């Protein structure tokens, strides 16, 4: 799906619902500045949730290569944007992913695509972190996977406690990363320690 030109079924219904919501908020949906807003919001929501129509396992299997490399592979600072499922407000940040191959590697961009797919769904950061780890573990069957996600949540910044500088960090790991030494190596490499 090209998010700027192709939209999923239900676009017109979404726009109709957003028109009603705008009216319920107390606005005049017929005024010039809001006339096209319901459709714009419907299109934006379909773009922001396009991950429901994408298969992250397939993304990885489309670029699997046999390789005897058995050291840590890290793709860090993967920018992402997602929508909190509790308030449908954005959360955004960086994901850092490491895996230790077990005879097979994948294209590096595919790791970023997996992050992209899971982040383009209604989410909580904790589940997204686990889904990324599980997908890589199940598909590549590496010796281990570790995922660290750092994010700022607009639901904490714009409403509720209104804490502008709070950053939430989540992590999940499997296999070789169950060893503290391996996790520590990953964290040192993230920080740039040698």
pTM of the model: 0.92
Q: Residue 175: CA atoms inside 13 Å, Cβ hemisphere, count?
A: 20
Q: How many CB atoms lie within 10 A of CB 163?
A: 11
User: Which pLDDT score is estimated for 22?
Assistant: 97
Residue 152 phi, psi dihedral angles, 5° rounding:
-110, 140
From the list 120, 123, 135, 153, the catalytic residue is: 153
What does the block give as tokens for 66? 């046999």
Residue 135 falls in the annotated catalytic set = no
Find the radius of gyration of the CA atoms of the chain. Answer: 20
User: Which pLDDT score is estimated for 192?
Assistant: 80
Residue 193 has pLDDT above 80, yes or no: no
From the list 85, 126, 138, 184, the catalytic residue is: 85
Beta bridge partners of 147: 97, 172
pLDDT in tens, 53-111: 999 999 999 999 999 999 999 999 999 999 999 999 999 999 999 999 999 999 999 99
Greater confidence (24 vs 162) lies with 24
Residue 194 has pLDDT above 90, yes or no: no
């Amino acid at each position: 799906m090209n998010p700027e030109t192709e939209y999923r079924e239900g676009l017109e219904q979404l726009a109709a619902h957003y028109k009603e919501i705008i009216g319920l908020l107390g606005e005049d949906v017929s005024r010039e500045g809001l006339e096209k807003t319901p459709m714009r919001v419907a299109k934006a929501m379909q773009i922001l949730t396009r991950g429901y129509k994408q298969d992250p396992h397939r993304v990885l299997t489309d670029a699997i290569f046999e390789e005897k490399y058995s050291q840590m592979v890290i793709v860090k600072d993967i920018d992402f944007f997602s929508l909190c499922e509790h308030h449908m407000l954005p959360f955004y940040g960086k994901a850092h992913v490491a895996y230790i191959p077990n005879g097979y590697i994948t294209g590096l961009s595919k790791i970023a695509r997996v992050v992209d797919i899971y982040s383009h769904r209604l989410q909580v950061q904790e589940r997204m972190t686990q889904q990324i780890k599980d997908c890589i573990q199940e598909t590549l069957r590496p010796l281990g996977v570790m995922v660290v996600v750092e994010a700022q949540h607009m639901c904490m910044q714009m409403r509720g406690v209104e804490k502008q500088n709070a950053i939430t960090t989540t992590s999940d790991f499997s296999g070789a990363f169950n060893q503290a030494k391996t996790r520590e190596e990953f964290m040192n490499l993230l920080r740039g320690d040698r």
